[in-house]
């Protein structure tokens, strides 16, 4: 049976070529571009999918992804899709009210947030 979804296509490619580069990321900062192998992308996606399914049961709903450009974004997107949820990109550079509006219009109950973007104030 042919692959029908993005996650099926990536899984099939990972089965054939686990040690080939699946993701190449150049931040534009002049540093050496980063990369992830297919097996790494699949493992990271499975880890996120399992965490989502265990903690919030997003099946059939939508999960926001609030993150900046990052090497791991493709794995995060796949993880959300593998949890049978729709992926909703949320831009941390956008005004907060716009992000809140998108979240409301999409009916988001869950949002994965890049750890680097979490601000904690200790009182």
For each of the domains in the chain, give its residue range(s) and CATH number, in order of start: 6-117 (3.40.50.980)
Q: Please report the DSSP string for 58-113 in residue order.
A: -TTSEEEEE--S-TTHHHHHHHHHHTT-EEEEE-TTS-HHHHHHHHHHHT--EEEE
Q: What is the pLDDT, as a whole number, of residue 119? A: 66
Instruction: Give the predicted TM-score (pTM) of the model.
Output: 0.86
pLDDT of residue 55: 87
What pLDDT does residue 10 have?
Answer: 95
9 pLDDT more than 60: yes
* In the chain, % of residues over pLDDT 70: 92
Pairing of strands 62-66, 21-25: unpaired
């Amino acid at each position: 049976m042919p692959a029908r979804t993005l996650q099926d296509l990536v899984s099939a490619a990972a089965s054939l070529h686990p040690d080939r580069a699946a993701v190449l990321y150049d931040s534009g900062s002049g540093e050496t571009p980063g990369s992830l192998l297919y097996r790494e992308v699949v493992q990271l996606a499975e880890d996120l999918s399992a965490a989502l399914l265990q903690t919030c049961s997003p099946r059939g709903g939508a999960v926001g992804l609030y993150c900046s450009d990052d090497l791991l974004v493709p794995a995060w997107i796949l993880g959300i899709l593998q949890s049978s949820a729709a992926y909703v990109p949320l831009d941390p550079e956008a005004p907060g009210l716009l992000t809140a509006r998108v979240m409301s219009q999409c009916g988001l109950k869950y949002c994965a947030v890049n750890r680097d973007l979490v601000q904690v104030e200790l009182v």
